[in-house]
Amino acid sequence: MSKTIKCIICNSSYHTCDCPKDLHTWKVLCDTTNHYQIYLVLSDYNFGNITKARAKQMLAKLDISNYQNWGTNASKQITKILDDNNSTSNKIQKKK
Amino acid sequence: MAETFNISELVPYKFRSISFSSITDGKVLARLTQIESPQLNTTTENDSVVDAIGTEIMKLYRSKKAQFTAQNSLFNLDLYATQLGTQKKVASSASKILSPAEERLKVANGKVTLANKPAGEFRYIYLLKQNNIYTILEKDTTASAGKFAINNTEISVETASVPDGSILWIPYEYESENAISIANYSDKFPEVVSFNASVIFKDPCTEKDILGFIVAKRAKIDPSSIELALTKDGKHPFTIDLFKPYCDEDGELYKFIICQ
């Protein structure tokens, strides 16, 4: 069934469908595979699975243009990762 | 010389089992052992022959049909799959079944842990209050007001809006290797099977058990109406039409075999 939902990364509305759920599971959360990859990076960073430096490195390979205008938690997290002076630290964050 | 076994009157006692087998490879598709209300019906159409003033002088019979109906005391998954014209899928470690799950978990230290790793993505979880859905929490990269984050099976929530002790209701799907599934497809119908009923009769004089069989080489479960009362005392009814094998010169619909 077709439905309109918002991307948890960029807040844009998009259409999705339950039918190909097995193949397009990312569409449950995001409007594009690029944004889903950003979700995975930020989620891994949040849970301390990757370092800030690694997250920054991975984000550099993804399209994060206009992230300042997204107005989502993802946008705030990207700002924090990119602006942080200690972003080169290799220390894995402790799990909360 | 031994006395010939030739008996005419029997007391039907109970059905030991009914089985449906594939006519292609003989494999049993379903076996039922809790049979209630068995009924074997045979009908025949007739044409009346009348004389000049309309008096019936003869009846000519044709189109003999046979049908067996009964109900299994328990809901039988193999019977249900046969009725739907599909196959029962049994999960294994190599072939898992995507299964729905729902959990009610109490928040402790801003976290809850699911029993299974969710397959794919899910977007919403629900905060319950007095067993009703009070707030919907949406997945995000971090836990915040109205948002939750998930790492493998661990879900984090913001403790200000979802304090410890809150109950979360989490519906999701996971891949199970201990599951069975039967799907009803709109374009699949029952296949032709052979029918075998094993019946125990009693000798009216000695009350000795006498085993009987009803055998039909060609039969098909009637899918036109499958009504299941999914209650603890609900039964699993079924109807099966018995046909003559197309190539059979004798036109045998079914036969009874009684063994001493």
Q: Which residues of A touch B117 (CB under 8 A)?
A: none
Span of A85-94, B74-83, B149-158, B163-172 with lowest mean pLDDT: A85-94
- Residue B179 confidence (pLDDT): 96
Pick A8's closest partner by Cβ from B110, B140, B156: B140
Q: Measured between CB atoms, does A39 come within 8 Å of chain B?
A: yes
The mean predicted confidence, pLDDT, of chain B is 93
Q: Measured between CB atoms, does A73 come within 8 Å of chain B?
A: yes
Look-up of token digits 């005419």: B8
Cβ-Cβ contacts under 8 Å between A and B: the total is 48
Chain centroid to Cα B76, Å, comes to 5
* pLDDT classification of A20: cutoffs 50, 70, 90: low
Nearest-neighbour CA in chain B from A48: distance (Å): 10
Nearest-neighbour CA in chain A from B254: distance (Å): 45
**β-strand pairing of B89-90 with B255-259:** unpaired
CA atoms A14, A16, A21, A22: torsion sign: negative
Which one-letter DSSP state was computed for residue B74?
Answer: S
Residues A47 and A82 sit within 8 Å (Cβ to Cβ): no
Of B68 and B121, the one with more pLDDT: B68
Q: Which residues of A touch B149 (CB under 8 A)?
A: 43, 46-47
- Nearest residue in chain B measured CA to CA from A21: B120
Contact B151 A49 (CB under 8 A): yes
The stretch A11-26 carries a mean pLDDT of 76
Is B10's pLDDT higher than 50?
yes
Contact B123 A5 (CB under 8 A): yes
Is A22's pLDDT higher than 70?
no
Is A24's pLDDT higher than 90?
no
DSSP E strands in chain B: the ranges are 11-22, 28-32, 35-50, 56-72, 89-90, 97-106, 111-113, 124-129, 132-139, 147-151, 154-157, 167-176, 180-181, 193-202, 209-221, 236-243, 255-259
The stretch A33-44 carries a mean pLDDT of 94
Residues B89 and B181 sit within 8 Å (Cβ to Cβ): yes
Chain centroid to Cα A74, Å, comes to 6
- Nearest residue in chain B measured CA to CA from A27: B121
Q: Which residues of A touch B138 (CB under 8 A)?
A: 8
Strand partners, B39: B69
Close Cβ partners of B227 (under 8 Å, ≥ 6 residues apart): B237
Amino acid residing at B116: N
Contact B141 A42 (CB under 8 A): yes
* pLDDT classification of B3: cutoffs 50, 70, 90: confident
Burial of B27 (0-12, 13-18, 19+ CB in 10 A): exposed
Is B40's pLDDT higher than 70?
yes
Contact A29 B123 (CB under 8 A): yes
Contact A96 B110 (CB under 8 A): yes
Is A2's pLDDT higher than 90?
no
What angle is formed at CA B102 by the lines to CA A39 and CA B110, rounded to 5 degrees?
Answer: 55
Closest CA to B151 of A7, A59, A40, A20: A40
User: What confidence tens digit (pLDDT) does each residue in B89-136 have?
Assistant: 999 999 999 999 999 999 999 999 999 999 888 899 999 999 999 999
- The rounded percent of chain B whose pLDDT value lies above 90 is 85
Residues B158 and B104 sit within 8 Å (Cβ to Cβ): no
The stretch B28-57 carries a mean pLDDT of 95
Q: What is the ipTM of this complex?
A: 0.75
Instruction: Copy the structure tokens of residue B225.
Output: 């109406």
pTM: 0.80
Of B220 and B248, the one with more pLDDT: B220
Contact A47 B149 (CB under 8 A): yes
Contact A77 B150 (CB under 8 A): no
Look-up of token digits 């099977």: B193
- Residue A94 confidence (pLDDT): 45
- Residue B7 confidence (pLDDT): 82
Residues B69 and B237 sit within 8 Å (Cβ to Cβ): yes
Close Cβ partners of B242 (under 8 Å, ≥ 6 residues apart): B66, B67, B68, B195, B216, B218, B219, B253, B254
Is A62's pLDDT higher than 90?
yes
Residue B30 and residue B206: Cα distance in Å, rounded?
34
Strand partners, B27: none
Pick B141's closest partner by Cβ from A21, A22, A39: A39
- Nearest residue in chain B measured CA to CA from A11: B140
Amino acid residing at B163: P
* pLDDT classification of B248: cutoffs 50, 70, 90: confident
